[in-house]
A and B are shown apart, each in its own frame.
Chain A
């Protein structure tokens, strides 16, 4: 119910929303939880395992119970979700309805469903677990379900940098931010609430002579006006990472109907210093029946009153072990809410109050099916039942120190407040302040925040501007540690995972005595709330069960994220096209216009083939394109190959060191094929080195390895051979380069170059500058097809124009463009290599290129390649394959066996790396690695592909099957 004169919601702005299909009304500024509570709703969900009725337990992000599905998002905390017009919320884990849940039967079975029940119960055959037990359990247990539909909403990610990140905008955080901001530091103040002010919004306190909320608003107004401050409300700092990096989740538009704004934004904030002022989280006392809707934390009951003007019940009983909870009593009483009883576990509590006080007493039981109806108070040797619809419980407060544990540190026990406090220096650059550091009074929090702000400024080397400390409440309430009521019945710890004190005792009894074991055995603290309200109490229960002190029992650590982070926000922008960068050649649109299907080659997209009218399959197109190159002329875009400009006095010597061959003896205007090894002697990449001038080479890499080779060359130049004068530059994207291949290639080249190209001046493996249609271009006479071949390069901005010109001219010569399929067949016919063969486990010896390793002078991989094991005769060596039996198909990936041997792994003789149909030779051709292959030419082997059920008898042949002498490309 609403209480007149209380709350920060805007009563002039009602908001209509629905819960389980029923209309409800709240006010602007309400959360789903506060609006439902205001409407008298206590039942908000069903528990994970036993399907017990559950209500709201807290008023913050630590909420374990009131989880709902909002729109298409499951497990939304009703205490965090703000209401907006049209919001649709549904309850979870209940069927057919929240009030009548069929699986409530689980609660009756609870004696059999305790901690570890499935370890003990489902010991049957393994198959039964997968087929029967697991599906049944999964259906019975659980919270919200995903819709299965693609999330069409928008998400964002962003980066921010600052001098000081202040986490939490309560009294401590505001003071730290204020002093840093006034002193000129770049400050980010992040708070998970929709409205900043922290605990000030939930209390009736004065700060600096003003109501606490007004004081907070004044500070916030000053901060908002400063250019060096960024205020980030609705932003939860979820993780602390190395070197001042913090993750934070901003709920950008979750409080609005779906619109243009992204729902959430995941921030990476880099802060030179940080102050953790995240406050404290109240903990309950474990007593039987403490999970009924209506049982709430005392500070939350007080918070709903002050923040939302909501009384959580009409007759409230308060049960506590500390003075702070008595403020709830006073505030409820002042607001006209009936306090039916105050139950304090401490014997020495003043009894002269206008409400019944039971000192040295406990709540031993509760009653009420779908909500609390009465509590049983036990004290002074008697038990009485007191009617109540709300039980406000407090077992003390735990500092919200989670972020200080994110880098592995464990917090330390502080006996005075009966709670863990942060280990100082646990996260470099981050300091806890205020309640997060165990300071439990407002005046202390203000002072501690100011101190932490000044300390940060000092570390940043900044002078501190004066900030005066406002006056505030300075009394710290007393507390006597009290964790659980010893009485009959189940007392809950983890409300979200349905863990009871009995489960923890059972874990201890079964020798899961370490806190880490207990946690995993009982699942305590492993739900989406990570046990924020229950972990310390569970620890105390374990300590009790094992006869140890709490510090001796130890604690689990906290890991990121502090609160759940949607994967959609972390991966924002990385779905579909955003998954990886896309690189397009200059001929891309021209290729697509011709209907060429594009395939990925690394990050690049290359045409698979260029379909012609009447062609029904890719094979028809590929066969035609191969024939075109062999008989007339073809054009293909080879710009994706890596191009690295190598310049300097020692460029030749440098290349001698990275290639197996000798490049320093290459004459200007000449090109040489080269092999690069890794230091372990295996082949890294192959390509060409063209010497453009004395101290100027241009080398090419394969498309796939361009980045790796660039990094490798940088490594060699900077780390291994800093003595050499050489400069490297990737120019892959600066030059568009097209291969022109076929018997009529020279005619086509002459159709586009301004100077006449002749065989006398441009023999095989020559290169040089050439004007192309008025543009300074380059010509290389090299071939990857086995035909007379040229590659013409022009600055990338002329690429598309030259491509269109080349294709048009080629078509006049009976040729045209060809794609990757044809390119692959052409090179398989020639036994030329790609990364199907250079896959990282092959050596020059395996490839039959041992002769390319120079004997004079050191080079990368020389020593590695000479290792005896890499030169053994029985290694798998490159061979060609041709089908000789009835089955004609060859498939890459298939394994090779001796003709009569069984096709099992132990008998594998090698494998096929590349295969394709050669229209030139009217046969499938393959390249393969075969044990001792070079000595087995002429043998018949059996290719077996178990996946595609193909078996083919093949003859082992030399890798080069077409024009082995190379006469066609030398011209």
Chain B
């Protein structure tokens, strides 16, 4: 598997660490249900997903990767710093 790092180009999967779905962190004062959702509840879709990967073996950038869990196609990756 390979991911297209916006800084480094196409790189082997072993340079990256997977984190999970790209979710927005609840703001200060958010209710406990909102936090429970953010911390524990995940969809497990067959199809398009958007998740976070860390290019720790490369540039150190956090990426939002769009890919498909059925076809394994990777549609693209961009810097998470530009927004989820």
A residues in contact (CB < 8 Å) with B: 241-245, 268, 270, 407, 428, 679-680, 707, 711, 714-715, 718-720, 722, 857-858, 863-864, 867
Given contacts A428-B73, A679-B39, A714-B54, contact A720 B25 (CB under 8 A): yes
Q: Select A714's contact among B12, B39, B62, beta carbons within 8 Å.
A: B62
Mask of B56-84 contacts with A, CB within 8 angstroms, 1/0: 10001110000000011110000111111
A719 and B39 contacting across the interface, CB-CB below 8 Å: no
Question: Please, could you name 8 A-B residue pairs with CB atoms under 8 Å apart, sorted by A?
Answer: A679-B25, A714-B62, A715-B52, A719-B62, A722-B83, A858-B28, A864-B39, A867-B32
Q: Ordered nearest first, which 10 A-B pairs have the shortest CB separation?
A: A858-B28, A243-B2, A242-B1, A718-B81, A718-B62, A719-B80, A722-B81, A242-B72, A863-B35, A719-B62
Residues of B within 8 A of A679 (CB): 25, 38-39
Which residue of B2, B26, B80, B83 contacts A242 across the interface (Cβ within 8 Å)? B2
CB-based contact B62/A715 at 8 Å: yes
Report Cα–Cα, A867/B61, bound state, in Å: 32
CB of A719 within 8 A of CB of B84, answer yes
In the complex, besides A241-B1, A243-B1, A722-B81, 17 extra interface pairs with C-beta distance below 8 angstroms are A242-B1, A242-B72, A243-B74, A245-B2, A270-B12, A680-B39, A714-B54, A714-B60, A714-B62, A715-B62, A718-B62, A719-B62, A720-B25, A858-B27, A863-B26, A864-B35, A867-B35
B39 near A711 with CB under 8 A, answer: no
Pairwise interchain contact B2-A719, C-beta atoms closer than 8 A: no
Which residues on the A side are within 8 Å of B54 (C-beta)? 711, 714-715
Check if A719 sits within 8 Å of B72, measured CB to CB: no
Cα distance A719–B2 when bound, in Å?
22
Contacts of B26 in A (CB 8 A): 863
Rounded to whole Å, the gap between the CB of A174 and the closest CB of chain B is 28
Contacts of B60 in A (CB 8 A): 714
B1, A245: Cβ atoms under 8 Å? yes
CA A270 – CA B62 in complex, angstroms?
24
B30 near A: Cβ within 8 Å?
Answer: yes
Query: How far is A241 from B1 in the complex, measured between Cα atoms in Å?
Result: 7
Contacts of A428 in B (CB 8 A): 71, 73
Q: Select from chain A the residue with minimum beta-carbon distance to B79.
A: A718
Which chain B residue shows the least CB distance to A272?
Answer: B10
Can you name the residue of chain A whose Cβ is closest to the Cβ of B80?
Answer: A719
Instruction: Give the nearest-CB partner of B38 in chain A.
Output: A679
For B7-36 the 0/1 string (1 means CB < 8 A from A) is: 000101000010100000111101010010
Whole-angstrom CA separation of A643 from B25 in the bound complex = 27
Distance (whole angstroms) from the CB of B29 to the closest CB of chain A: 8
Closest residue of B by beta carbon distance from A679: B39
Select which of A407, A720, A857 is within 8 A of B72 by beta carbon.
A407
Give every chain A residue within 8 A of B56 (Cβ-Cβ): 707, 711
Report the separation of the CA atoms of residues A720 and B28 in the bound assembly, to the nearest whole angstrom.
13
- How many angstroms between the C-alpha atoms of A707 and B56 in the bound complex? 9
Chain B CB count within 10 A is highest, among A244, A715, A719, A720, for: A719
Interface size on B, residues (CB 8 A): 31
**Which residues of chain A come closer than 8 Å to B80, judged between CB atoms?**
718-719
Give CA–CA (A967, B17) in the complex, Å.
45
Name the contact of A718 in the complex, choosing from B25, B28, B38, B61 (C-beta under 8 A). Answer: B61
Q: Which residues of A contact B10 (CB under 8 A)?
A: 243, 270
The answer to whether B30 touches A863, judged by C-beta atoms less than 8 angstroms apart, is: yes
Instruction: Note all chain A residues with C-beta closer than 8 A to B30.
Output: 863
Give chain A nearest CB distance to B12 CB in angstroms. Answer: 8
Contacts of B73 in A (CB 8 A): 428
B56: nearest chain-A partner, CB-CB = A711
| B38-64 with Cβ < 8 A to chain A | 38-39, 52, 54, 56, 60-62
Min distance, Cβ B40 to any Cβ of chain A, angstroms: 8
Contact of B2 among A244, A715, A722, A858 (CB under 8 A): A244
Separation of A407 and B71 alpha carbons in the complex (Å): 9
List of B residues within 8 angstroms of A268 by Cβ:
12
Given contacts A242-B72, A719-B62, contact A270 B2 (CB under 8 A): yes
Chain A residue with minimal CB distance to B28? A858
CB-defined contacts of A858 to chain B, threshold 8 Å: 27-28
Q: Which residues of A contact B12 (CB under 8 A)?
A: 245, 268, 270
How far apart sit A858 and B38, CA to CA, in the bound complex (Å)?
16
CA A679 to CA B19, docked complex, whole Å: 13
> Please, how many angstroms separate the alpha-carbon atoms of A760 and B28 in the complex?
42
In the complex formed, the residue of B with least CB distance to A714 is: B60
With A242-B2, A863-B30, A867-B32 as contacts: A715 and B39 at CB distance below 8 Å: no
| Cα distance A56–B26 in the bound complex, in angstroms | 68
| A858→B26 CA distance, assembly (Å) | 11
CB distance from B13 to the nearest CB of A (A): 8
How near does chain B come to A715, taking the closest CB pair, in angstroms? 6
Shortest B14–chain A CB gap in Å is: 10
Contacts of A242 in B (CB 8 A): 1-2, 72
Shortest beta-carbon distance from B5 to chain A in Å: 13
**Interchain CA distance A542-B6 in the complex, whole Å:** 52
* CB-based contact A719/B52 at 8 Å: yes
How far is A934 from B2 in the complex, measured between Cα atoms in Å?
Answer: 51
Question: In the assembly, what is the distance between CA of A956 and CA of B17, in Å?
Answer: 42
Q: In whole Å, how far is A840's beta carbon from the nearest beta carbon of chain B?
A: 15
Q: Given the complex of chains A and B, what is the CA–CA distance between A715 and B45 in angstroms?
A: 24
> A875 to chain B: closest CB distance in Å?
18
Q: Which of B19, B28, B74 lies in contact with A715, CB distance below 8 A?
A: B19
Contact residues in A for B35 (Cβ distance below 8 Å): 863-864, 867
Residues of A within 8 A of B1 (CB): 241-243, 245
Q: Is the pair B81, A719 in contact by a Cβ cutoff of 8 Å?
A: yes
Shortest CB-to-CB span from A706 to chain B, Å, is 12
Chain B residues with Cβ under 8 A from A857's Cβ? 28
Asked whether B61 lies within 8 Å of A711 as measured between CB atoms, the reply is no
A446 to B27, CA, bound (A): 64
Give every chain A residue within 8 A of B74 (Cβ-Cβ): 243
B56 → A minimal CB distance (Å): 6
Give min CB distance, B51 to chain A, whole Å: 12
Q: In the assembly, what is the distance between CA of A680 and CA of B62, in Å?
A: 20
B22 CB, min distance to chain A CBs, angstroms: 8
Q: Could you tell me the distance between the alpha carbons of A718 and B79 in the complex, rounded to whole angstroms? A: 8
Min Cβ gap B34→A in Å is 9
Complexed CA–CA distance, A268 and B27 (Å): 45
Q: Tell me the nearest residue of chain B to A867, going by C-beta.
A: B32
Task: Judge whether A711 and B2 touch: CB under 8 Å.
Answer: no
**What is the distance, in angstroms, from A460's C-beta to the closest C-beta of chain B?**
14
Give the CA-CA distance A858 to B28 in the complex, in Å. Answer: 6
Residue in B25, B30, B56 whose Cβ sees the most chain A Cβ within 10 Å: B25
A243 to B19 Cα, complex, angstroms: 20
**Chain A residues within 8 Å of B82, by CB:** 722
CA distance A268 to B2 in the complex (A): 12
Contacts of B17 in A (CB 8 A): 711
Q: How far is the CA of A680 from the CA of B40 in the complex (A)?
A: 9
A204 to B79 alpha-carbon distance, docked (Å): 59
Chain B residues lying within 8 Å of A243, measured Cβ to Cβ, are 1-2, 10, 72, 74
Q: For B55, give the chain A residue with the smallest CB separation.
A: A714
CB A872 to nearest CB in B, in angstroms, measures 15
B62: chain A residues at CB < 8 Å are: 714-715, 718-719
Inter-chain CA distance A714–B62, complex, in Å, is: 7
A243 to B72, CA, bound (A): 8
Query: B residues within 8 A CB of A407?
Result: 72
Q: Which residues of A contact B81 (CB under 8 A)?
A: 718-719, 722
Q: Which of B30, B73, B80, B82 has the most CB of A within 10 A?
A: B80
The CA-CA distance from A714 to B54 in the complex, in Å, is 9
Q: A858 to B56, alpha carbons, bound, how many Å? A: 27
In angstroms, Cα B81 to Cα A714, docked, is 10
* CB neighbours of B79 from chain A (8 A): 718
Q: How far is the CB of B33 from chain A (nearest CB, A)?
A: 11
A715 neighbours in B (Cβ, 8 Å): 19, 52, 54, 62
Residues from chain A with a CB closer than 8 A to the CB of B27 are 858
Q: In the complex, A244 Cα to B81 Cα: how many Å?
A: 29
Task: Give chain A nearest CB distance to B46 CB in angstroms.
Answer: 13
Q: B residues within 8 A CB of A270?
A: 2, 10, 12
In the complex, chain A residues whose CB is within 8 Å of the CB of B52: 715, 719
